[in-house]
Amino acid sequence: MARTGRSPRLRDLTELVAGIAIVLLVLFLAGRVRLRADLTSEGRYTLKETTRQLVADLDDRVYVKVYLAGDLPADLRRLSEATRELLDEMRVYGPDKLAYSFIDPSADPDANVRREVYATLEKEGLQYSSIRIREKDGYSEKIVFPGALVTYKGRTVAVQLLKTQLRTPDADMVNRSVNNLEFELGSAIRQLTRKERPRIAFLEGHGELEPIEVRDVATLLGEHYDVSRLRIDGRLDALSDRLEGARFRNNRWDMLIVAKPDSAFPDKDLYIIDQFVMNGGKVLWLLDAMNANLDSLRRNQYSMATAMDLGLDQLLFAYGVRINNDLLLDRNCAPIEIFTTPYGNQRKLERFPWYFEPVLVPQGSHPIVNNIDPVHTRFVSSMDTIGTDSVRKTILLTTSPYNRVLRNPVRIALNIVEQRALLDRAATPAPVAVLLEGPFRSAFAGRLTQRFLQEGDPQYREQGRRTSQMVISDGDVIENRVDPAKGMYYMLGYDRYANAKIYGNRELLLNAVNYLLDDRSLISLRARAITLRQLDPVRSTRERTLWQAVNLAVPGLVVLLAGILFHLLRKRRYARPA
């Protein structure tokens, strides 16, 4: 009797039903189980834990309008795609808490309507860039707004997605912007949702920089913190309150910024600052050790810089650092323009390296200096760290190896620009910025009388709580350029010769404040670094036709070979036996 098997039709129907069941099962599991794999070495598509938590904790919807759409250059298209990918990744952790749209502000053909849109965006706080686009018959100008508006509960914050707006975007600039995307959007959401803001005070009363001279940083910090100015004037309650029944005083401020004082601190002010630190207060010290300036060089060919007596040496020494009475020359420096020997009836203005203005290139991976541009300094001094066991010292910025130390007093002369040979020999890089972390011991330990401890301040604290400070041996690092005639100021890091912001001073100071105030959520976002992997431009041009042909031909060949192989396997499977 012949064996009977399942009919081919029944077998095909079974395979079809099984296939459909498997697909439905996969779709069901995909909707219930989240499986994501980031195969990039730098974790490009993985959000930081702080961002995930920020989105998950939202109690209302955040809406993001991104103005990077339409006909954009290749680099800006990459920034637009990276922004979309980031927002999609954020929506994974809060699909109902974040929505976004991409808008082309230049989409309307009517020029008047476009101008109204541009004016509205500028009023909201976004900055535009005018870029040149190369076309077949020449160049055309296009206005782009590489930014976004983030709205939450009726409040809106403008976010600049492009790192700088002062020149045509290139690959490196866009890469820095991509690196900062998560920080920019995350900090905007955090700014809108934060309920309590730390308090920062700029100290005054000892010749510190005027408000307009630190306006750029103060405005920048004001986006995340409550910023004001403060005079101590010997008042014990200037920085802290005396609480009845409490063992120690309670600080009224979270952080103090001391920006380029030029006169001595009274002992009582020093004591009040010391106790502010002992009670957990943070301090950002931006100090000049020498009274050098360029004003006298406008009248003479040289000037003498001598040490300033600010009265801070003993305070800083107790905390673990000393600023030396010297000035540093560095081959890696900013330029200066000087009138040279007259040619005919006219003097000639030439540009020279000005060794008294070192440009510091961050080398470490610490979050404060990671991923920032070089920092511009002026008349900076060297520093030493002191052996205090309880305090950890981290050197954040140094000069280049090609530096020279000039001891007090220092003759500052314009002819230094002609003495490059002074910096031909490599030396040890000199520290100019140090982070101090730990429990500090009071600088007044063993110096106070028993009567003062009983009557003057019975809540004196000799051993402090764990806190942190940062010392930079240059007060000019925070000073933004001011135009007195127009009553306006320029962005910190702006260079008048380049007519652009090229230095990372404002990023350095913002990072420092974030870190000192334990804003690790902000500092961790800014620490992300995505590597730019560019194609070789020479090979791209030379081998363009070859790789275009490969991209067109190879996929077709793969499909054709797969079809032939499938046909042969099917023919072999269903061939009738002889």
| Domains of the chain by start residue, with CATH | 49-191 (3.40.30), 199-516 (no CATH)
The H helix count followed by the E strand count for the chain is: 14, 28
Question: For the ranges 171-185, 411-425, 426-440, which has the lowest average pLDDT?
Answer: 171-185
Work out the average pLDDT over 13-37: 74
Work out the average pLDDT over 327-349: 80
Q: Give me the pLDDT at residue 390, please.
A: 87
Work out the average pLDDT over 93-118: 88
The pair of three-digit structure tokens given for residue 435, joined into one six-digit string: 């982070």
Distance CA 215, CA 151 (A): 26
Q: Give me the pLDDT at residue 163, please.
A: 64
Question: For the ranges 52-66, 478-492, 520-534, which has the lowest average pLDDT?
Answer: 520-534
Work out the average pLDDT over 12-37: 74
Q: Give me the pLDDT at residue 525, please.
A: 60
Q: Give me the pLDDT at residue 15, please.
A: 76
Work out the average pLDDT over 555-575: 79
CB atoms within 10 A of CB 389: 7
25 or 435: which leads in pLDDT:
435
81 or 301: which leads in pLDDT:
81
Q: Give me the pLDDT at residue 273, please.
A: 96
pTM for the full predicted model:
0.72
Work out the average pLDDT over 491-510: 89
Q: Give me the pLDDT at residue 357, please.
A: 93
pLDDT at 420 over 70: yes
pLDDT band of 534, cuts 50, 70, 90: low
459 or 282: which leads in pLDDT:
282
Distance of CA 167 to CAs 79, 216, 351, 497, Å?
Answer: 16, 20, 22, 14
Distance CA 382, CA 427 (A): 13
Q: What percent of the chain has pLDDT over 70?
A: 85
pLDDT band of 508, cuts 50, 70, 90: very high
Question: For the ranges 36-40, 228-232, 347-351, 410-414, which has the lowest average pLDDT?
Answer: 36-40
Q: List CB contacts of 448: < 8 A, sequence separation 6 or more.
A: 460
438 or 95: which leads in pLDDT:
438
Q: Give me the pLDDT at residue 143, please.
A: 81
pLDDT at 290 over 70: yes
376 or 127: which leads in pLDDT:
376
Q: What is the CA radius of gyration of the chain?
A: 31
Work out the average pLDDT over 207-235: 92
- Where does 390-488 have alpha helices with state H? 450-451
Work out the average pLDDT over 205-231: 93
Strands of the sheet with 375-376, listed across from one edge: 333-343, 346-360, 375-376
Q: Give me the pLDDT at residue 33, please.
A: 59
Q: Give me the pLDDT at residue 530, please.
A: 52
Beta strands in 212-345 (DSSP E): 226-231, 240-241, 250-251, 255-259, 282-286, 302-305, 321-323, 326-330, 333-343
pLDDT at 3 over 60: no
336 or 282: which leads in pLDDT:
282
Work out the average pLDDT over 412-429: 85
Distance of CA 143 to CAs 104, 110, 162, 177, 299, Å?
Answer: 10, 14, 14, 19, 45
Question: For the ranges 176-180, 318-322, 410-414, 531-535, which has the lowest average pLDDT?
Answer: 531-535
pLDDT at 424 over 60: yes
Beta strands in 260-325 (DSSP E): 282-286, 302-305, 321-323
Question: For the ranges 252-261, 443-452, 539-548, which has the lowest average pLDDT?
Answer: 539-548
Return the H-helix or E-strand segment holding 160: strand 155-160
pLDDT at 139 over 70: no
Average of per-residue pLDDT values in the chain = 84
The rounded Cα 156 to chain-centroid distance in angstroms is 22
Q: Give me the pLDDT at residue 184, please.
A: 84
Work out the average pLDDT over 468-481: 95
The pair of three-digit structure tokens given for residue 451, joined into one six-digit string: 């009567």
Question: For the ranges 195-204, 212-221, 237-246, 323-332, which has the lowest average pLDDT?
Answer: 237-246
pLDDT digits (tens, 9 = 90+) for 140-199: 677 888 889 999 988 888 888 886 544 455 666 777 788 778 888 888 888 888 778 899
The SS3 assignment for 568 reads helix
pLDDT at 135 over 70: no
pLDDT band of 127, cuts 50, 70, 90: confident
Q: Give me the pLDDT at residue 509, please.
A: 95
